[in-house]
Amino acid sequence: MSDDLVLWRDARFASMAGVAPPWGWIERGALVAEGERIAWIGEEAALPAALASRVTREHRLGGAVVTPGLIDGHTHLVYAGERSLEFELRLQGARYEQIARAGGGIRSTVAATRAAPDATLLAATLARARALLREGVTTIEIKSGYGLALEHEARCLHVARAVGAALGVTVRTTCLAAHALPPEYEGRADDYIDAVCDWLPALHGRGLVDAVDAFCERIAFTPAQTRRVFDAARALGLPVKLHAEQLSDQGGAALAAGYGALSCDHLEYLSADGVRAMAAAGTVAMLLPGAYYFLRETRQPPVAALREAGIPIALATDHNPGSSPTLSPLLMMNMACQLFGLTPEEALRGFTAHGAQALGLAVSHGTLEAGKRADFTVWAVDHPRELAYGFGVNPCRRVVAGGLELHALPS
């Protein structure tokens, strides 16, 4: 029943609420969920008697650590095919940009995705999403961008919506039609951007789009073209985000910040001007260590400058077949610490509170607080720092999304 109260007790909570105490730590904690929301959280000894008397079920967690459900705020889960040959070519000396310009890269995935039946796309995407859930994820951002035609972008966004409905988790859909130039528009990038701007009202009108993204880079679209896409998004009242400064400094972060972007993502080549613009706009820095590692990049995002400017740092898997074929947020936490110098607490905050902020969900997701969605993960660890410490291990034991425990997580 919607008014059932469920008590989760005998646990230590890293609520990630606020900045003090560290981790939002509650040593001998309890949480009461009422339907999809958290009704109360705090020290178990302080549980109000009036609330306790209404509890209909309880779960003892044996001193486990509980965190907010993880938020994977940048993924490309909907696609067909794989690109292991490109991986091999890069190991033999080919550069990512060379492969893309030769017709590989994103275009090869577009061809496979267009050819795949809807049922095949859905089955593959569900399998990937379940892998994320097994590591504690309860909220996923899923981008389009491997269709690059109105019909196929719509198919990809429909699949993304279906994933949330099937698994009972929060899915935010992002239209990334401005991802690459499809072959039928070869040499006509401006015409393609015109088409993308024309598609957005139709996709939004069908309830398929929560935000709009673009790839602003030498091998993708110019700042001027990106601005046109963002103008179209703004006219529809849709928030924007940007693949910015991954391979070069195109001034994309400052451009996106001018539109109040939710996040700018990658940011290896982020300039001081970009940092200042993001700080002024309240734009989140979404760092993607999987792509940095997989492409064997050497220029790190300016983490110290982001910290100094007070810019929230989010993390995500960036799961995609070409530059980050990982489905492990825990590994991304470890990489963010080892490769970028984040602390374990910053890494967990990047997959919780700051991940929610990057999706425009900070009011309802990302921390364990009364009134927020009852999304949380139970871990067999002694301290939350262990989530970033280990790699190749998964201490996730239970996942709760919207107050309901997720059991259908086959290995």
pLDDT digits (tens, 9 = 90+) for 281-291: 999 999 999 99
Phi, psi values for residue 312, rounded to 5°: -60, 140
- For residue 393, count other CB atoms closer than 10 A to its CB: 12
In this predicted structure, what is the pLDDT of residue 281?
A: 98
Please give the Cα distance from 5 to 247 (Å, whole number): 50
pTM, 2 dp: 0.96
In this predicted structure, what is the pLDDT of residue 408?
A: 53
In this predicted structure, what is the pLDDT of residue 70?
A: 98
Q: Kindly report, residue by residue over 70-118, the tens digit of the pLDDT.
A: 999 999 999 999 999 889 888 999 887 788 777 678 889 999 999 999 9
Q: Kindly report, residue by residue over 145-158, the tens digit of the pLDDT.
A: 999 999 999 999 99
In this predicted structure, what is the pLDDT of residue 63?
A: 97
Burial classification of residue 205, based on how many CB atoms lie within 10 Å of its CB (0-12 exposed, 13-18 middle, 19 or more buried) = exposed
In this predicted structure, what is the pLDDT of residue 3?
A: 67
Averaged confidence pLDDT in the chain: 96
pLDDT exceeding 90 applies to what percent of the chain? 91
Using DSSP, state whether 149 is helix, strand or coil.
Answer: coil
Whether the per-residue pLDDT at 411 is higher than 50: the answer is: no
* Strands, E assignment, 304-371: 313-315
Whether the per-residue pLDDT at 265 is higher than 50: the answer is: yes
In this predicted structure, what is the pLDDT of residue 1?
A: 41
Class of domain 5-68+367-405: mainly beta
Whether the per-residue pLDDT at 395 is higher than 50: the answer is: yes
In this predicted structure, what is the pLDDT of residue 103?
A: 67
CA distances from 322 to 113, 134, 269 (A): 14, 23, 20
CATH number of 70-358: 3.20.20.140
Q: Where are the domains of the chain?
A: 5-68+367-405, 70-358
Please give the Cα distance from 34 to 3 (Å, whole number): 6
In this predicted structure, what is the pLDDT of residue 104?
A: 78
Using DSSP, state whether 14 is helix, strand or coil.
Answer: strand
> Shortest CA distance to 350 belongs to which of 312, 318, 384, 378?
312
Q: Kindly report, residue by residue over 319-345, the tens digit of the pLDDT.
A: 999 999 999 999 999 999 999 999 999
Using DSSP, state whether 365 is helix, strand or coil.
Answer: coil
> Are residues 129 and 140 in contact, defined by beta-carbon separation less than 8 angstroms?
yes
Whether the per-residue pLDDT at 407 is higher than 90: the answer is: no
Whether the per-residue pLDDT at 410 is higher than 50: the answer is: no
Whether the per-residue pLDDT at 252 is higher than 70: the answer is: yes
Question: In the numeric block, which tokens belong to residue 166?
Answer: 């099937």
Question: In the numeric block, which tokens belong to residue 178?
Answer: 């401005």
| Residue 316 one-letter amino acid | A
Please give the Cα distance from 232 to 212 (Å, whole number): 9
Q: Kindly report, residue by residue over 179-205, the tens digit of the pLDDT.
A: 999 999 999 999 999 999 999 999 999
Cis ω before 329 (30° cut-off from 0)? no
